[in-house]
Homo-oligomer: A and B are copies of this chain.
Amino acid sequence: MQPVELVSEEGLALLERNADVILQEVGIEIRDYPSAVARFAAAGADVDGDRVRFPPGLCRQLVSTAPAIYTQHARNPARSVQVGGAATVFAPNYGSPFVHDLDAGRRYATLADFENFVRLAYLHPHLHHSGGTVCEPVDVPVSKRHLDMVYAHLHLSDKPFMGSVTAGERASDSVELARIAFGGDLADRTVMTSLINAASPLVWDATMLAAAEIYAAANQATIITPFILAGAMAPATSAGVIAQTLAEALAGMAFVQLVRPGAPVIFGSFASSMSMQTGAPTFGTPEPALVLYTVAALARRLGVPFRSGGSLTASKLPDAQAAYESAATLVPTLMAGTNFVLHAAGWLEGGLAIGYEKFVLDADQLGMMATFAAGLDLSDNGQALDAIREHTPGQHFLGTAHTLANFETAFYRSETADNSSFEQWVEDGSLDAAQRANRLWKERLAAYEPPPIDDAIDEALRDFIARRKAELPDAFA
Point out residues on A near B: beta carbons under 8 Å.
Answer: 1-2, 4, 6-7, 11, 14-15, 18, 21-22, 25-29, 31, 51, 98, 106, 199, 201-203, 230-240, 242-244, 273-282, 284-287, 289-290, 294, 314-328, 331-332, 335, 349-350, 352-353, 361, 365, 368-369, 371-372, 375-378, 381-385, 387-389, 391, 393-398, 400, 402-403, 406-408, 410-414, 416-422, 424-425, 430, 432-434, 437
Query: Chain A's interface: helix, strand, loop or mixed, by majority?
Result: mixed
Complex CA distance for A397 and B235, rounded to whole angstroms: 6
Chain B nearest CB: distance from A283 CB in Å?
A: 8
Chain B nearest CB: distance from A207 CB in Å?
A: 15
- Residue with the greatest number of chain B CB neighbours at <10 A, chosen from A277, A419, A425: A419
Chain B nearest CB: distance from A305 CB in Å?
A: 22
A278's nearest neighbour on chain B, judged by CB, is B420
Complex CA distance for A329 and B230, rounded to whole angstroms: 28
Contact A411 B279 (CB under 8 A): no
- Residue with the greatest number of chain B CB neighbours at <10 A, chosen from A51, A320, A394: A320
Complex CA distance for A278 and B411, rounded to whole angstroms: 13
State whether A239 and B382 are in contact (beta carbons under 8 Å apart), knowing that A281-B419, A317-B432 are contacts in the complex.
yes
Chain B contacts for A6, CB-based, 8 A: 1-2, 375-376
Chain B nearest CB: distance from A33 CB in Å?
A: 14
Chain B contacts for A417, CB-based, 8 A: 282, 284, 314-315, 321, 325
Chain B contacts for A328, CB-based, 8 A: 327, 331, 365, 368
A18's nearest neighbour on chain B, judged by CB, is B385
A289's nearest neighbour on chain B, judged by CB, is B372
Chain B nearest CB: distance from A233 CB in Å?
A: 7
Contact B387 A276 (CB under 8 A): no
Contact B414 A282 (CB under 8 A): yes
- Residue with the greatest number of chain B CB neighbours at <10 A, chosen from A11, A289, A316, A393: A393
Chain B contacts for A276, CB-based, 8 A: 407-408, 410-411, 413
Complex CA distance for A316 and B238, rounded to whole angstroms: 37
Chain B contacts for A331, CB-based, 8 A: 327-328, 331-332
The residue that A425 contacts in the complex, of B26, B98, B316, with Cβ under 8 A, is B316
Contact B395 A201 (CB under 8 A): yes
Chain B nearest CB: distance from A275 CB in Å?
A: 4
Chain B nearest CB: distance from A446 CB in Å?
A: 23
Q: Would you mind naming 28 contact pairs between A and B with Cβ atoms under 8 Å apart?
A: A18-B383, A21-B389, A22-B389, A26-B388, A27-B393, A28-B393, A232-B396, A233-B397, A235-B406, A236-B406, A237-B382, A239-B378, A240-B384, A240-B385, A276-B408, A279-B398, A280-B421, A282-B419, A284-B417, A285-B371, A286-B412, A287-B410, A287-B411, A289-B372, A319-B320, A321-B417, A325-B417, A349-B422
